Structure 1
Amino acid sequence: MRSDRLVAILLMLQRREQVTAAEVAEELEVSERTARRDLDALGMAGIPIYSVQGRGGGWRLLGGARTDLSGLTVGEARALFLVAGPAAAATPEVKAALRKLVRALPETFRAQAEAAAASLVVDSRRWNSPDTADAHPPRFLAVLQDAVIRGVQVRFGYIDAAGNETERTVHPLGIVAKGPSWYLVAHTDTGQRTFRIDRVTAITATDHPVARPDGFDLARSWRQVTDDADRLHTPVEVRATCAPEGLEYLRAALGDNLDIGTAGTDGRIAVVFRGPSEYGLAGHLAGLVEWLEISSPQGVIDHLATIGAALTDRYGPPEHPAARH
């Protein structure tokens, strides 16, 4: 279910005493079947809406929360904003709608609703290395997200990448879903750290408040984490230009690991991408030399020349005997 539709439906329910699937479908330009599915999904997510059967029926908010959504409990308000407002996924229009919805909530709910909307980043891109995480949400995900929203420190047992288990007290700042893996971004005594949630072995929430760094933004912080990881695992940066007709082949070869710039006066497009080694990149790109012209680093260019010479030597046409005299 699209988060912008969810917010739009809640705002419709806020403005009107009752809506029908047909009215939702017309306003949101979707089919009635999609509208019914979205309305059902709202109820399954914990939002207090219910259907009125029969002629003149439709969907209503429990408690008659037509103007102030007073029918929402604090937990239900959090559920709504968790679904509707992942920090990296919400569009500007959705964020604007969420701000309107926050103003409609009872004042005592607003802080946790806003915290819920900012507590989660969804990063659909997988790491370059194989990810062995379980596809199911990890055991302590809900406890950690609750701590993020309530702004309290936690103590947990943790097994690091080397297999060592330690106990730590951290200040939870946000949760990130990256592919099948879940991460906690937290402030610690040694600075900001990222923890894989499936490596947490036990957890206890404390009553001590989180010390949140001034100006902290989860989406921006996570971009820095992934940029640093990319530089660590793919230290070689290649700069090149690509002919327009070869750009789709380059995208297919490099996927998300490709930054596309602007076209020059000759029509060729500036591109930048990274890889783990100069030789590995040269081998990966050798089949694209018809469209790709690399400007740096020199090591990749030299490896391409060596690969080209070896290919010509092995697969080129046999030398004519007359050429020997």
Structure 2
Amino acid sequence: MRADRLIRVLFVLQSRESVTAAQLAAELETSVATARRDLEALSMSGVPVYPQPGRGGGWRLLGGARTNLTGLTEPESTALFALLGGARGAATEAASAVQKLLAALPAPFRHSAERAIGSTLADGAAWGDAPRSAPRELHTLQQAISHGRAIQLSYRTHSGIAVTPLGVAARGGHWYLLADPGDGPCMYRVDRIRGVSILDKEASPPSDFDLSSAWADAVAEVESLRGSTAAEVIVEKYAVSAFVSRFGRQASIQDAVGDGRMRIEARAQSAEALAEQLAGWSAAIDVVGPPEVHSALAELGRKLVERYE
């Protein structure tokens, strides 16, 4: 369980002046890559963990070995518990560890930490390419949720959107906010938020609100919109795996057509969007149909010729 492991990472950092990813991996019996991801996750969540490069370097807690759990600020403790959110209701050991951490917090911080637990989800599926770091607005959103406050968003071309934040979720590396503007949950991609401010207005999810269920409904709605147009595509053997991985749920293998090639149905929200996604695969695929996707590909090709001829 990752939440349990992150708690152990924090305790290792508290007990040592510094630790390398390799040393941490040996201590926790994980891979070096996993240890490095855990350290980066703690750092991006707001916990005061930072790398020190060079000979004798490693990862440290701000303040060194003297730092302990009660030395965390309220925003840092909120960020930590948002990161560990899924532990409650999971493995007994992980849930127990979270409860011990809650008990170790200064009393004024516990209410916010309690709210933060369960406000964050991790969805292993992906929409598009993954970003390299968490958006800077994520911490503000977690703070608003933990304090039960409404927020005001500027999103793409719209500003002044007042919503009740319900939770945040990571999907394939991107972060999403699930929030209620007054007529039910809506999904906002965090890296497309142009500005966010916490309002002096109480706003909490309903007592029976379940983030996992609401997130599943939101994802299903987005997937239905993304997949309203389908194309039949013949994919060369060497590209099948990469093609299916890139399109994710919007690709379904139909049958084999010989020589290792596969017939695959690819979907997107429109013929134009599908043509844009398929154009880069032109050397490895043959788009059988429908005609509207052929036309969209031809129009895209015409525009490219006009610009670069």
TM-score w.r.t. structure 2 length? 0.55
- Pick from 166, 175, 182 the counterpart of residue 173 of structure 1: 166
**Residues 286-322 of structure 1: per-residue CA shift (max 9 Å, x gap):** 65457x9x6xx75579x59xx9xxxxxxxxxxxxxxx
1:205 matched to which residue of 2? 200
CA distance in 1, matches of 2:114, 2:263: 40
CA distance in 2, matches of 1:99, 1:194: 28
1:277, distance to aligned residue in structure 2 (A):
0.9
2:210 matched to which residue of 1? 216
Q: How many residues align?
A: 263
- Whether the 8 Å contact between 1:259 and 1:271 is mirrored in structure 2 is yes
User: Which secondary structure does the structure 2 equivalent of 1:174 belong to?
Assistant: strand
2:180 matched to which residue of 1? 187
2:26 matched to which residue of 1? 25
1:51 matched to which residue of 2? 65
Identity %: 21
CA distance in 2, matches of 1:193, 1:229: 10
1:173, distance to aligned residue in structure 2 (A):
0.6
CA distance in 2, matches of 1:166, 1:20: 44
More helix by share: 2
Look at both structures and tell me which one has the larger radius of gyration over its CA atoms: 1
Query: 2:237 matched to 1:237?
Result: no
CA distance in 1, matches of 2:62, 2:134: 29
1:80, distance to aligned residue in structure 2 (A):
2.3
Q: Are the structure 2 counterparts of residues 4 and 135 from structure 1 closer, same or farther at C-alpha, using a change threshold of 3 Å?
A: closer
**Residues 259-286 of structure 1: per-residue CA shift (max 9 Å, x gap):** 456978x998674421321883897476
Query: 2:224 matched to 1:228?
Result: no
1:243, distance to aligned residue in structure 2 (A):
7.2
1:192, distance to aligned residue in structure 2 (A):
1.6
Query: 2:112 matched to 1:118?
Result: no
User: Which secondary structure does the structure 2 equivalent of 1:51 belong to?
Assistant: helix
**Residues 184-234 of structure 1: per-residue CA shift (max 9 Å, x gap):** 32223212223466344654232x35132624225x544544543454355
Query: 2:150 matched to 1:154?
Result: yes
Amino acid at match of 1:210: S
| Residue correspondence of structure 1 range 284-295 to structure 2 within 5 A | 284=279, 287-288=283-284
1:146, distance to aligned residue in structure 2 (A):
1.2
* RMSD of aligned alpha carbons: 5.5
Amino acid at match of 2:146: I
User: Which secondary structure does the structure 1 equivalent of 2:205 belong to?
Assistant: coil
Structure 2 residues without counterparts, runs of 5 or longer: 51-59, 299-309
User: Which secondary structure does the structure 2 equivalent of 1:191 belong to?
Assistant: coil
| Residue correspondence of structure 1 range 298-317 to structure 2 within 5 A | 299=291, 303=294
CA distance in 1, matches of 2:79, 2:277: 49
1:250, distance to aligned residue in structure 2 (A):
3.0
CA distance in 1, matches of 2:11, 2:223: 40
- Pick from 275, 279, 298 the counterpart of residue 280 of structure 1: 275
1:318 matched to which residue of 2? none
- Whether the 8 Å contact between 2:234 and 2:264 is mirrored in structure 1 is yes
TM-score w.r.t. structure 1 length? 0.53
1:317 matched to which residue of 2? none
CA distance in 1, matches of 2:242, 2:172: 24
CA distance in 1, matches of 2:285, 2:25: 53
CA distance in 1, matches of 2:234, 2:96: 46
| Residue correspondence of structure 1 range 89-100 to structure 2 within 5 A | 98-100=94-96
**Residues 236-265 of structure 1: per-residue CA shift (max 9 Å, x gap):** 13467867555136348x44465456978x
